[in-house]
Structure 1
Amino acid sequence: MFRRRKKKDEPVTPVEADEVAEDLGDEDAEPGQDGPYDSSEAPKDGVHRLDLGSLLVPVVEGINVQMQGDQQGNIRQVVLIHGDSALQLMAVAAPRTEDIWDEVREEIQAQIHREGGSVKDGEGPYGPELHARLKGPKGTVQARFVGISGPRWLIRAVFQGKAAVDDEAAAVLDGVLRGVIVERGDDPRPVSEPLPMTLPKEVAEQARAQAAAESNGARKPSPGASAE
């Protein structure tokens, strides 16, 4: 069943953190039918979501949103920070009929071992997951890797800090994760290729305005004779 999404230019307000679980629910959905959602099954919940291209992420009061890119300047993942916890999100392409999370977990485990960390298998609300201790610039970081499969996509979610080991600390970030909508698109993509992400419209406009202001400020009028 197709559902219409809220218009992007419609006035919206952030969701309070303690209302995440209630506001992200779809009143038409059956119990246990939480997200993340494919765009073809997006709920009509009235929640304002940050449009990042392949991911639409609920805006929640008290959560800081950061974008991370690669050396070529492509945005690869979004990081949500809440108190002493963080949640990294990225979506990758997947086959239509095959779940690739088992394969991806093996790749993550190998990478963690190569970088000197430790990791073990775990089980969580989304199924098999990884519990890891990563070596960071400021010491050891606790991390919990979660994979969520949808139609031709896989979300890789990494809870860090307190959220990796404490369900209560992870509750707000997990609520946001369950409200994410994935815009896969119809383009064919290699398996595990990151789905393209973009800056939100309001952020991009702000960046352009700031760049224009800095450019105009740098252009000082050259001295010369005044007209009489």
Structure 2
Amino acid sequence: GDLAQELYNQIYGKPKLVDELEPSLYATRLLHMAEQYILSISLSAQINQKQPELWEDYPEQLLIFFPTPFRADVGRFAGTNNLEPELVWGLSRQESTFRPAVLSPVGAIGLMQLMPNTAQEQARALSLSPSGMGERLKQPELNLQLGTYYLAKLGKRYDNKWPYAIAAYNAGEYVVDTWLARRNAADLVVWAEGLSFGETSSYVKNVWRNWEVYKWLNRPE
């Protein structure tokens, strides 16, 4: 972790190095291999600012910008809950940039950024122990198990209208129900654009974009 951060600092702290494309791309791959996804994604974004044709010239770099870590657990729990793995990666990328131990300012924890009380509710529903969530949610396996269960539950609640479910994951069911009572658009994309809370509108669009990119990257050859 410390070595990866130092590598990132060396590149990011010296803008001329970002102009040197091949060494910079190599650095993103080293960071990716070290599972420092937030650093590899951030550096890729910096390179893209300097090199607007990056994705066209180096399409394999999209695999660095949209990584698919924790494949076994994502696949298992997505399958158990009838979710597309690409949605789980797309949401986790937006929530935590795949940092298992990250803690948000409001207290959400881990890969899928679950609040401890929300995690406890899902644990009870799955006949799992609800105790000690403050630390246990830092375990990728448990976080993904509870997060995918909760996300699938929201999907069912909103009849698989995923902009609603994704918004509820971010802002809460009560908030989304209030928005729907005021404005239930037939076009779900239009509905997401019209959300009164800008952060959630951006969140829904970013998760949706991630989901679509992951589906494209994982499409059958």
TM-score (norm 1): 0.31
More strand by percentage? 1
The structure that has the greater radius of gyration is: 1
Q: Which has the higher contact order (CA 8 A, sep 6+)?
A: 1
More helix by percentage? 2
TM-score (norm 2): 0.31
